[in-house]
Amino acid sequence: MPRTRPVIAVLCEKATDRPPGLEGLDVDFRYCTADGLPDAIRGAKALLLWDFFSTALRDAWPHADQLEWIHITAAGVDTLLFDELRESDVVVTNARGVFDRPLAEYVLGAVIMYAKDSRKSFDLQRRHEWRHRETRRITGATALVVGTGGIGREIAKLLRAAGMQVKGAGRRPVTDEPDFGEIVDSANLAAEVGWCDHLILAAPLTPSTHGLVDDKVLAAMKPDAHLVNIARGPMVDEAALLAALNEGRIGGATLDVFDTEPLPQDHPLWDAPNVVVTAHMSADAVGWRETLAEQFATNVRRWLAGEPLLNVVDKKLGYVSTGAPT
């Protein structure tokens, strides 16, 4: 009798939005959207969350009768994890590494844009107004990067290469750290942010980082400091941020993530002073879908061969634990 190939369910946002380049893998794929996930996952050995913001698995979980492995095509797993999955033997892997450099480039661009007052330049150009101004250098400017995993490290390396002074903020303080120089305790963020010109959020969303940037942290920042959030919206108290911006207590913010996405058209952050809004796109460089699909295909081959999977998430922590300070 012919060998039965393992089934991998693939959750897509739309029926036409399928991952490219998976042909030739020795598996059978069942493609579905959220409403078809309960049927698709029944009997499946693995699940690919191509729609990585979906929370449909929680409701479909009772139908996951043979599931061994879930791969999510995102670095953050906060939308995926729930108690039953955490307590199960199902292995979770993520897209760690794919987005590090694009995110670091976005942050460097945001820092330069803020230092060079580009937002004001665009406004003057639209008004056809010629006005000479002086702007700041980034050489010697200071940045505190919250999150010291792969993404935070890539950001630190790029900012340091541009001549900036950088520290990290993580769960454990470290001195003489090769990428950050120093890592301070993110639990004491309000005591640390007065040092930095740019506060950059690049940590996973966990119970300890939810609401991390609150009114106390914002009050402790320099009056001309710049907040960059490429992590998750709920890491920032948006009401407190709006108050700080409107009252001129911080200089500005570059925001790629929000509590509610898409950001509602009437949300006051659109028009807040010195705010740049982008549509959760900081990691999405041209070719990212192909890279994500190839990363998953590599793990499928390892899975079929009985080899250890890459980027295994610690489901209790909510991220891939490498043993390095985080």
Would you report the helix, strand and coil content of the chain in percent, each value rounded to 5? 35, 20, 50
Residue 261 catalytic?
Answer: yes
Task: From 309, 86, 105, select the one nearest 206 (Cα to Cα).
Answer: 86
- In order of their start, the domains of the chain are 7-98+286-304 (3.40.50.720), 100-277 (3.40.50.720)
Annotated catalytic residue, options 18, 63, 280, 289: 280
Contact between 308 and 299 (Cβ < 8 Å):
no
The average pLDDT across 296-308 equals 98
Length of the chain: 326
Residue 226 catalytic?
Answer: no
Q: Rounded to an integer, what distance in angstroms lies between the CA atom of residue 101 and that of residue 291?
A: 13
Residue 5 catalytic?
Answer: no
- Measured CA to CA in angstroms, residue 153 lies from 75, 114, 127, 135, 322 at distances of 14, 21, 40, 27, 13
Annotated catalytic residue, options 13, 261, 290, 307: 261
pLDDT digits (tens, 9 = 90+) for 194-229: 999 999 999 999 999 999 999 999 999 999 999 999
Phi-psi region of 184 (alpha: psi -120 to 50; beta: other; left: phi over 0): beta
pLDDT digits (tens, 9 = 90+) for 225-273: 999 999 999 999 999 999 999 999 999 999 999 999 999 999 999 999 9
On the question of pLDDT at 1 being above 70, the answer is: no
Annotated catalytic residue, options 71, 153, 198, 232: 232
Amino acid making up residue 8 = I
Structure tokens at 6: 């393992």
